[in-house]
Amino acid sequence: MINVMILEDDPMVREINSRFLRKLDHFRLVKAAASIAEAQEFMTDYKVDLILLDIYLPKENGIDFLKWLRKEETEVDVIFITADKTSGMIQEAFRYGAVDYLIKPFTFERFKESLINYEEMYHSIHSLDVMEQNVLDKYISKNIPADDSENMGSYFEKGINKYTYKVIWDEIVNLTGQFATAEEIAEKSGVARVTVRKYLEFMEKRGKVEKMIEYGKIGRPQHKYRRIY
């Protein structure tokens, strides 16, 4: 069993995340904490494998807690579950070793996908003394479109950040086949419009999205994008 702690100050969200977790096999909720101090106190006496961590806590910050965990060399993994979708915060979370980043509100299916991916990685790493590159790539490439996972080294060109790519790609996936403008995607993702346009052009070049030009009665034509299935 994988021991999980939920660190979330909102009682309703904490309960929802707890219910989601209980639906999954092989995960045990060992603590639902409302503050960093409560989490730290629990971890002095109990083993925790994974923390589902919010960023914004009363007078506290989940990123700071992650930094503290790394400074203390605590052997625990972190998945962020937060409403913060700014690219800067997301990049900082991954820099300090977060294994995934879920933006509220999210579906149970996305939650399940994240935990199952983690479970596979957890058991593989703990069962092997050494790991070959092709096995490691299976987990590193989870967030890259599947048909490009074998070419990770060449997939992202200079100036394209894989974490920013993921943020924008997730919003495109959430469109469920509908077209949207770069401005609409920027508003939902929290990424600057000029950056979104750059990444959409890259995705179009890679054959991941298609572009439709919509002509209105006045003004410039709009460029709209959707995922290619």
Tens of pLDDT, residues 24-81: 999 999 999 999 999 999 999 999 999 999 999 888 899 999 999 998 989 999 999 9
83 and 45, same structural domain? yes
Instruction: Report helix, strand or coil for 180.
Output: strand
Which CATH number do you get for residue 107? Answer: 3.40.50.2300
Look up the pTM and report it: 0.61
Say if residue 205 is exposed, middle or buried (CB neighbours under 10 Å; 0-12, 13-18, 19+).
exposed
150 and 122, same structural domain? no
Pairwise pLDDT comparison (131 vs 81), residue with the higher score: 81
CA-to-CA distance for 4 and 103, rounded, in angstroms?
A: 19
CA-to-CA distance for 192 and 169, rounded, in angstroms?
A: 14
How many Å is the maximal CA-CA distance in the chain?
A: 67
Predicted local distance difference test score (pLDDT) of residue 221: 85
Closest CA to 227 of 207, 197, 199: 207
Do residues 148 and 155 touch, judged by C-beta distance below 8 A? Answer: yes
Which CATH number do you get for residue 192? Answer: 1.10.10.10
- The whole domain housing 203 covers 145-227
CA-to-CA distance for 47 and 23, rounded, in angstroms?
A: 21
- pLDDT tens profile 11-32: 999 999 999 999 999 999 999 9
**What H or E segment, with its residue span, contains residue 18?**
helix 11-22
66 and 87, same structural domain? yes
129 and 26, same structural domain? yes
215 and 194, same structural domain? yes
How many domains does the structure of the chain reveal? 2
Structure tokens at 72: 């203390």
149 and 110, same structural domain? no
